[in-house]
């Protein structure tokens, strides 16, 4: 009987042993663990400099559907070519496929992350690289999912060439001087969400079928270039939402097929140019530039603005237009002559708000948006307005002939 008990104990210990965690515990610092194909028990902790590489075609670290699958609490850790899945579902605990805390020089590359509430959660992580990963969330309502990538007080990192689907957000909070490049983010809530994060570069990414492509809240010294932001869906349907920014440079991007290409909320106390929108294609949106509140201190130059139902919309009364620099844009709604053939219109392009634009302030009237009756009213009022129209924006040097459109 005693022998049977001992045998059962040994079998149970073997079945419940976490072989990967034991290997990590026994490995010297800076070791390289090469994992053959197989499924390894998750909920592991890496607390030393270490490299773990999946050498087989199917290397899986399987979580226990609680807590985080992999926790990294050390600098100089690399995870490569591994499928990581099966986190818990507690939002308050930020259950993640990979949770990294208080570390530097961490690299997560070529991993497939699935069935995870949060994808990669980074808190106070600097000088690290997240690249070539595939990330998707648990099959939950979008409000119950975690973020695909979350950076909190994390700076000088590179997020490169990741594919992200059906998640909630990629969130950077109080995280500065990061490079976000060559990522594809699709069917999530907010493609990128910046909160009080400064000095970040967003270059050559593709955002599609998200509720909002990119959001910038309180971001300073931000550069957004060479991105495609298209087909934002849902009630918001916003390509780019900008609020409380300064030195915001948005150049050489394509913003297309959204409900609102830009939603811009300027602070009432701004005193200089805050937003620089140059050399972009803003095409085939319902609204190209939607301003909430004041239309002021924007530089809008050398953009191609074509195929939109409305070029400029203002959703709140008051706060008059002032101190914008708007010139050199191509507007397909502009009607004017070019007698000296310099490709600049002889007259300015004034975007006016007539009485037919009641829907700007009343969503019930918006039921008739883009219908023939509204178009007829707009045409009649532009010929003979019975009230003084409101000037929303004026391009002082509108381009007459479009030379080139961006392909995507």
pLDDT digits (tens, 9 = 90+) for 381-394: 666 655 667 788 99
pLDDT band at residue 12 under the 50/70/90 scheme: very low
Write the class of the CATH domain 1-188.
mainly beta
- 8 Å CB contact between 340 and 397: no
- 53-83: pLDDT as tens digits: 999 889 999 999 999 999 999 999 999 999 9
| pLDDT over 70 percentage in the chain | 85
Reported as a single tens digit per residue, the pLDDT across 16-50 is 469 999 999 999 999 999 999 999 999 999 999 99
Contact 42, 69 (CB under 8 A): yes
């Amino acid at each position: 009987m005693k022998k049977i008990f001992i045998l059962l104990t040994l079998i149970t210990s073997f079945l419940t042993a976490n072989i990967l965690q034991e290997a990590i515990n026994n490995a010297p610092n800076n070791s390289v663990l090469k994992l053959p194909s197989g499924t390894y028990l998750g909920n592991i902790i890496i607390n030393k400099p270490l490299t773990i590489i999946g050498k087989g075609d199917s290397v899986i670290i399987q979580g226990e559907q609680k807590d985080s699958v992999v926790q990294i609490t050390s600098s100089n850790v690399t995870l490569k070519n591994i499928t990581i899945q099966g986190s818990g579902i507690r939002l308050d605990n930020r259950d993640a496929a990979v949770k990294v805390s208080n570390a530097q020089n961490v690299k997560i590359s070529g991993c497939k992350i699935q069935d995870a509430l949060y994808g990669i959660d980074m808190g106070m992580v600097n000088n690290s690289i997240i690249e070539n990963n595939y990330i998707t969330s648990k099959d939950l309502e979008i409000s119950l999912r975690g973020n695909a990538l979350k950076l909190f007080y994390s700076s000088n990192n590179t997020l490169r060439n990741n594919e992200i689907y059906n998640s909630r957000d990629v969130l950077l909070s109080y995280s500065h001087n990061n490079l976000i490049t060559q990522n594809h983010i699709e069917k999530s809530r907010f493609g990128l969400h910046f909160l009080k994060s400064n000095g970040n570069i967003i270059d050559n990414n593709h955002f599609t079928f998200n509720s909002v492509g990119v959001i910038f809240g309180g971001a300073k010294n931000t550069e957004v270039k060479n991105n495609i932001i298209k087909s934002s869906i849902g009630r918001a349907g916003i390509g780019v939402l900008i609020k409380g920014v300064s030195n915001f440079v948005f150049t050489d991007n394509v913003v297309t097929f959204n409900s609102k290409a830009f939603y811009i909320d300027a602070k009432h106390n701004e005193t200089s140019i805050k937003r620089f929108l140059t050399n972009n294609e803003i095409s085939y949106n319902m609204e190209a530039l939607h301003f909430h509140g004041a239309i002021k201190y924007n530089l809008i130059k050398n953009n191609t603005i074509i195929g939109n139902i409305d070029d400029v919309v203002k959703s709140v009364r008051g706060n008059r237009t002032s101190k914008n620099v708007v010139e050199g844009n191509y507007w397909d709604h502009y009607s004017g002559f070019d007698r000296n053939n310099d490709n600049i219109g002889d007259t300015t392009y004034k975007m006016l708000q007539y009485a037919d634009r009641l829907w700007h302030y009343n969503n019930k009237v918006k039921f008739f948006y883009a219908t023939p009756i509204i178009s007829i009213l707009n045409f009649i009022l532009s010929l003979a307005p019975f009230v003084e129209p409101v000037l929303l924006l004026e391009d002082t040097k509108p381009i007459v002939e479009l030379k080139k459109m961006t392909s995507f």
